[in-house]
Amino acid sequence: MEQRRQRKRVLAIVLAFVASIVLVVSVFAQYWLSSPSWGDKVHIGLRSFTRCQNERCVSISNSELMDVLEQDIELVKKKNKELPAGAQMTVPRAPWHGFPVVGIITLVAAFVAAAGLIVGAVLALARQRRELPIMPTTIAVIGLALGIITSCIFVATKPDVFNYAAMLAPHAPLEDIIVSWSFILFGGGAVMGLAAVFPLNRQIRPIDVELGEAAATMSWGGSRDDE
C-alpha cells in the first residue's frame, strides 16, 4: 500500500512538471494556426502573425493584423467594383477584434496554470502541507479552465487571411487557415495538468486535526490513496 501511495505521489509530481513545461512551450510556439498550402510560410501564434516569402519573413502583432485585414477587405471591395461579376474576388468576413485579446488571455492563463502546477509539485516533492489562502492547485485549475476556454475561442474565431500571390486571380484571395501543432500541444498539456492537479492536491493540502492524516489522502470518489 505504501508503495502504491508513493507511485501515485511521484506520478502526480512528474505530470505536474511535464504539463507546466508543455504549456509554456505551446504558448510561445507560433504555430497555433497555419496554412497547409503554404507550409511554414504562413502561421499565427497567440501574439503574432508571420508570413514568409522568398526566405524573408515578416511578423506583425495580431492587433496589427486586424487593421491590415480591414484595409485589405476595403481594397478587395474597391477592386470588385471594377471587375465583372464572374471575375470578382471573394470578400472575407470582417475580422473580430477580440481575437488578439483571447490570444493574450490564453497566454496569461497558461502561465498561471504552469506556476500553480510547479508550486504544487515543489511542495509535494518537499512533503510540505501548508495553510495557504488559496492552494496552488486551485490556481492551476482556474488557469487551465480559462486557458481551455479562451484557446478554443481563439481557434474558432481565426481571421480570413489573404493569399497575396492570388490577389489578382478571381475567387482566390484567401489562405486556407487550419489548427496547427501548437494548439494540439497546448491541449495535451492541459489534459496532463488536469490529470496531475487533483492527486497533487491530496499531497499538499493540510491535514484536518479532527479527521486525521487519512482525510488528506481521501479521493473525490471517497476512496483513499492507501487502499
Span 174-195, pLDDT tens digits = 567 889 999 999 999 999 999 9
Handedness of CA 162, 167, 170, 172 (dihedral sign): negative
| Share above pLDDT 90 across residues of the chain, in percent, rounded to a whole number | 50
CA distance 105 to 122: 26
Q: Identify whether 227 is part of a domain.
A: no
The CATH number for 20's domain is 1.20.140
218 pLDDT more than 50: no
Residue 34 lies in a domain: yes
Residue located via cell numbers 482556474:
142
The pLDDT value recorded for residue 121 is 96
Count structural domains, the chain: 1
Using CA atoms, how far apart are residues 66 and 158, in angstroms rounded to an integer? 11
Confidence of residue 169 (pLDDT cuts 50, 70, 90): very low
The dihedral through the CA atoms of 19, 117, 150, 60 has a sign that is: negative
Task: Check residue 168 and give its pLDDT.
Answer: 39
Q: Name the CA dihedral angle for 140, 151, 56, 75, rounded to a multiple of 10 degrees.
A: -150
Q: Which domain holds residue 88?
A: 2-216
CA 67 vs. chain centroid, Å, equals 24
**Residue in 43, 72, 18 with CA at minimum distance from that of residue 188:** 18
In a domain, 72, yes or no: yes
Residue 221 in domain:
no
